[in-house]
Amino acid sequence: MHTDPFITFGVQHIITLIIAFSAFIFIPFAIKDKSDAFHHTAGISIAVLIFVHEVTNALNAFTFGLPWQEAVPLHLCDMSAISIALYFIYKTKILFNCAFFWGIGGATMAMLTPDIDYQFPHAEFVPFFYGHALVLLGVFFAVICLKERPFFSDVNKVVVISLVLAGVIYLANILLGEGANFWYLMDKPEANTIMNFFPEPPYHLLVTTPVAISVFYLIYLPYVISDALKKS
């Protein structure tokens, strides 16, 4: 099958972003006034879709000839997907908090600057955007339909959890050997992403770490403004 190289913010990329962003924003607003029972069923349905995608994504690592380590769900977007899926099942707030900041920060950036080589109809294209859109659909569904929201203390907790996990993931990358580059701790993505402007590894971590933490607080900023306006 003939496939052209992926062009960041090319026509196909922009159309895909419009479709994806419209879907995960429109769908929650369309069903936000439904019953609690409907919302529960919808949440479980999203969780099932996420788990199915995670399994097929692991199998695709072998189908697409990727390093076997890619079958292990340790990428940040995998962890945010699993977090929001488990939240819909157990309703544990910390799972929502992690998915909220990891998902909005990580999945959005992944969709804006995808780490893929070819555009549609290459077999990697749809699973990549579908998987990341599912994460954001889950997060926005929880916010809009289930009325979940983070608080400032939650940002701090997610920052601490992320830093601790980064150390664990770094060790996992070493143990899993060449080909493991979860959270892009060992190397920068091969595709054209914002990390191209960062220093070469391992010094890129000196930039990615404070940038990631700053993004978490920027994501929370609308709540700061909203809460301040409500008090005024």
pLDDT digits 0-9 by tens, 127-180: 889 999 999 999 999 999 999 999 999 999 999 999 999 999 999 999 998 888
Residue 144 falls inside a structural domain:
yes
Residue 1 falls inside a structural domain:
no
Residue 20 falls inside a structural domain:
yes
pLDDT at 65 over 70: yes
* Residue carrying the six token digits 């069923």: 41
What's the pLDDT score for residue 163?
A: 96
In sequence order, what are the residues at sequence separation of 6 or more whose Cβ sits closer than 8 angstroms to the Cβ of residue 128? 110, 114, 116
Residue 5 falls inside a structural domain:
no
- Determine the average pLDDT of the residues in 41-51: 96
Name the domain count of the chain.
1
- Determine the average pLDDT of the residues in 49-67: 85
* Residue carrying the six token digits 């920027």: 218
User: 205: phi > 0 → left, psi -120 to 50 → alpha, else beta; which?
Assistant: alpha
> In this structure, how many other beta carbons lie within 10 angstroms of the beta carbon of residue 124?
19
Domain that holds residue 106: 11-231
Is 155 within 8 Å of 221 (Cβ atoms)?
Answer: no
What's the pLDDT score for residue 94?
A: 96
Q: How far apart are CA 201 and CA 173, in angstroms?
A: 14
Residue 4 falls inside a structural domain:
no
Q: Which two tokens stand for residue 87?
A: 């939240």
What is the pTM assigned to this prediction?
Answer: 0.90
Pick the closest to residue 50 from 120, 122, 123, 136 (CA basis).
136
Residue 125 falls inside a structural domain:
yes
